[in-house]
Structure 1
Amino acid sequence: KIKQLNSKDTPMAALLQGDVGSGKTVTALLIALHYIDNDIQVCILAPTEILARQHFHTIQSLLSFSPFIGLELFLGKEKVKAKREKLARFKQGETRLVIGTHSLLQEDVEFKNLGLVIIDEQHKFGVEQRETLRAKGRNPDILAMTATPIPRTLSLTLYGDLELVVLKEKPAGRAGIETKWFFEDKREAVYKSIKKYLNMGRQCYIVYPLVEESEKLDLKSCIDDYEHLSRFEFKEYSLGLLHGKMKNEEKDAVMTGFKKKEIQILVTTTVVEVGIDVPNATILVIEHAERFGISQLHQLRGRVGRGEHDSFCILMSSGHISEEGKTRLSALVETTDGFELAESDLKLRGPGEILGIRQSGLPDFKLANLQKDEFWLKVAREDSEKFGNIGALEKNEISNRFSEGRILFPN
């Protein structure tokens, strides 16, 4: 479908949507190589440094057979001389694939022949930022990607200007993920089970909602529990600590140790939500799971099940949990299908809360129902595209008719 879109006369604008672990990064790379083979520059925009670095290292290893591709990581924190040299290579066209964060939006970033802009985690960037990057080329194609599935009707509404492309299958050879939900009284049994798999050579994530202890919230924090787990429950094992307040060098050192299996248990926060790929890590424990939304829990769960070994996601919650919280956790236990979970999330929370889209300007609907009106949303989208292609006189006539109709059907 993407080949069809970029063979049109108008610039491509597509949204690549796939479940966690469906291979969106590899798919995007294959598309990028098509442009690079034709001497066209490509840039990949990621919302965080951790994700940008992960993409860079993944693509670097995949392209080891082709060292002349001109691959660069641009985070904007380089020393003055190194940054100046990188910017010169972008402008001269020596660098053909650039991976970076918001630093790519800076005014001094120029390209010789930018033809494709890939935006990962589309919902974390505004339309203005997308257009800023697009303006650095001559109407380059846009390929946006989502971290987790979005309900189809919401995609049509939120991203109506983007053509939807869906990756429905996951790569072959990946093991399944079994999800279990436990209360505090089962903690000892959970730790015993974790040790069994650690002794088999596997690795484990333990995710917390907080970095440090909070006076306002009675929740565990990763720093405090890291100290406790290291001294008591898992003192025979090697533990690492990773959170967003650490320096980049410290984060890199911890992640390198985890990937090399020097660290058996990674105590962390949602900083690992996206882009972390360690196939040997098969156990994920989420503390205070009731504090997270369905989408985020599913995204975190995607950190395991990336290799050949059976994987487990363990949801730990307190006994004081709302009915909505119980519904969320039950949904995670019942299915690993991200598209199914996205629809459950839509029913549970409504369109105004998913992905924080109230802040993105999506209004409450007076007539449409996002759970039932997919057909009419598609019709409205097609009509709006036609409306954009007609002349000014016709537009005025339609607008006048609409204005007259509002008298008959007031808000």
Structure 2
Amino acid sequence: MASNGKVVKECYIMFQSDERFHEHLKNFAENDPVQHRRSTSLMDVRTFVVDFLRTDFDNITAMLQKLLRYVEHKVSKEKIDNLNTICLSWNTIVQDIMDPQGWLHQKDKELLETIESVYFCEDKIPNLQIKCSLPAKVSANKEEKKDESKSDDLMTQETFEQLTDRLLMYMTGDASGVDTEVLTQKGFSGMTSEDTVNWLQTHKKQIPSMDTDTFSVVLKRISLQSISGRVLCSFIKKNARDIRNILVGQDAHPSVNVEQIVTELTKIIKFEMLKEKIKNDLIPKFDIFKNIAKKRMEYHALGGREGLDDEQIIEFKKSETEIKGIEEQWGKRLSRWSAYVADLRKRYNVLSYFTVNDMRSLNTNLQKYFQQGNKIDLLADIASKISFINPNLSIRDIEQSINLKKQWNADVKDWLYQLGEFLSNSKAQR
């Protein structure tokens, strides 16, 4: 039970109503042995969970004592098997309760909550991936450096865009024909108290448990207390139950089910918060991330390597302004590098025969040539590149030009100038 707290919690939330539970059992096919096994197990587990959690305990100690007594006197192998069956098939059971779209929407929301940051990797196309927080995948050794490019916690750019598209499509279809784009185009948290009143009026039918009198009370309290969308969001994030105090208070009639009203209000507020998060936060930021990825790829394709480790992981919680700042820095770096390479090729015409990546390879092989004993293979590779400049050169000519250098340091800061000087002064220059 301790390792399956999510199942216990959802079981109680979904099935605390006897009526709803018995209605759900009708969906199980009695002639299907697998479903029959699940229904039997679910009845047993649900009975325990609901009865136990409905009990009013004075403190945690009293709750634990009752749980221990239950385990000692009532838990049998059959009950453990039943719990195991439910835990293993819980997603299927939940999917049966909801409509398929509703179930997928719930899973998408859960996945969205795990998104933390983007990760840029130049060895993959597309090179932009999204990092999610999946506790089960986290290494026990926190000091161990993870290979981000091989992490199971990474989501592709395409998967992320499909996720946000599905969520927006579901939310548009679940708006019950209510057009609130004018009210929420600036975001739910940006609505004034007047906007909030108008927005709530358009959603009245989505709060069936609220009678006309209570609805009037809620609208009046919003106006009198100047409750904006931002205020409602802050209460939802801290404690959804506070919504009862600020919107209903003690003004509701005793016969009104205030808890149900609060549940319905919380649902539609969270709905708007999710839509705002996707439309006004995640998608705009992700568009900037894609621009950064494009600039990084261009920089890498042009042979740039310095600075690729900078801002390789960017968290979504950064502000849009901060992310735009990173994009601008990459734009400047790309422009500087392009100008630098263009200037080199203008100064040393021989470099126009190579891409910068070819220059890097040639630079590295020249250093290896002076460091290693076996020079034949390296000489052949170097000659194959230099022959692009002057195909009439023999390998001996190239070898003589190289040996005049005596040594080669591939790691100097201006290695491109070093290479340009060498090629220009060698027999490779026509």
Question: Could you state the TM-score of these two structures normalised by the residue count of structure 1?
Answer: 0.29
Whichever of the two has the greater Rg, that structure is 2
Higher RCO structure, 1 or 2 (CA under 8 Å, sep 6+): 1
Q: Quick check: which one's strand share is greater?
A: 1
Which has a greater percent of helix? 2
